[in-house]
Chain A
């Protein structure tokens, strides 16, 4: 398969994730959609890495994997803290820091 196809799939997944971040209101699902976007980035990185024939893009993808794991840990910690304080689990109602 041409590398083009992989990049188009990656762009589609990224857009789906972006739409999900915009329309979903549960912070858990927003985090899942962020994962989608990070994975789309990973797919593009690995596609480009295959195109050049070097493994640098794969190293970058592994770093993205680590960053995504950290982001999930912190995000889920915040969701659990919200739940403990009985705040609404809804990103539209949590707007105290909006300014």
Chain B
């Protein structure tokens, strides 16, 4: 058991370091997947079978797929924007803060009066952490948190649709009219509106690639979301 613990802990820590240190966000996501699976194995060592499986299915499965989609959508343009431009001073400060935080946490964890921390834990039966036990607890003792969590999920789903919906920044008037009988792929359309062609090949297929160094700010200023107010609207006094 000790051997397995060290293997999984080292893999989990390596995954965490990868998330922090890798430059490409896509590799960061993959590194987090490794970390999450190692963490699920650590949960198994703590005899939390249901949480371990939920971790793999929900996190490493569903949430990470969401991340991969967004990274492919947002970071696929390969903009020459450095992700790691923090100054050396800021980085040194952050690392110093992290070390201080770890020392503080270690003192807090190891300096407690909890005698059982240096044991293997209480004696538990075979059904400890099994789906049956967790399910019974969720539907009896913890029914209210369970329902609140379901409402939270509903609110998050509605919020995500409202946030990522097609309304923002692109009015209907600005959409180019598609040709009636023609090549829909080659029809003119604004850059980065999430078309399939851009998703497959990045910028520059249906529209020329914007030069991020030069005209990014210009583009931003002329975009519809900074359009001046109509003249009938009086500015508030």
A15 adjacent to B99 (CB under 8 Å): yes
A59 adjacent to B137 (CB under 8 Å): yes
A9-B9, A24-B83, A72-B63 known; A15 and B102 CB under 8 Å? yes
CB within 8 A of B67: which of A32, A39, A63, A89? A32
List the A side residues contacting B168 at CB < 8 Å: 81, 84-85
List the A side residues contacting B129 at CB < 8 Å: 55, 58
Main secondary structure of the interface of A (DSSP, over half): helix
Q: In which size bucket is the chain B interface? A: 35 or more
Residues 4-27 (chain A) with a chain B CB within 8 angstroms? 4-9, 11-20, 22-26
List the B side residues contacting A83 at CB < 8 Å: 73-74, 192
CB within 8 A of A11: which of B45, B109, B159, B216? B109
A28 adjacent to B223 (CB under 8 Å): no
List the A side residues contacting B81 at CB < 8 Å: 88-90
B63 adjacent to A66 (CB under 8 Å): no
Q: How far is the CB of B215 from chain A (nearest CB, A)?
A: 11
A1-B45, A39-B39 known; A86 and B74 CB under 8 Å? no
B residues whose Cβ falls under 8 Å from a Cβ of A? 1-2, 5, 9, 12-13, 16-17, 19-20, 25, 28-29, 32, 35-36, 39, 42-43, 45-48, 50-51, 54-55, 58-59, 62-63, 66-67, 70-71, 73-75, 81, 83-86, 90-91, 93-95, 97-99, 101-102, 105-106, 109-110, 114, 116-124, 128-129, 133-134, 137-138, 142, 145, 149, 152-153, 155-157, 159-160, 162-164, 168-170, 192-194, 216, 219-220, 223, 225
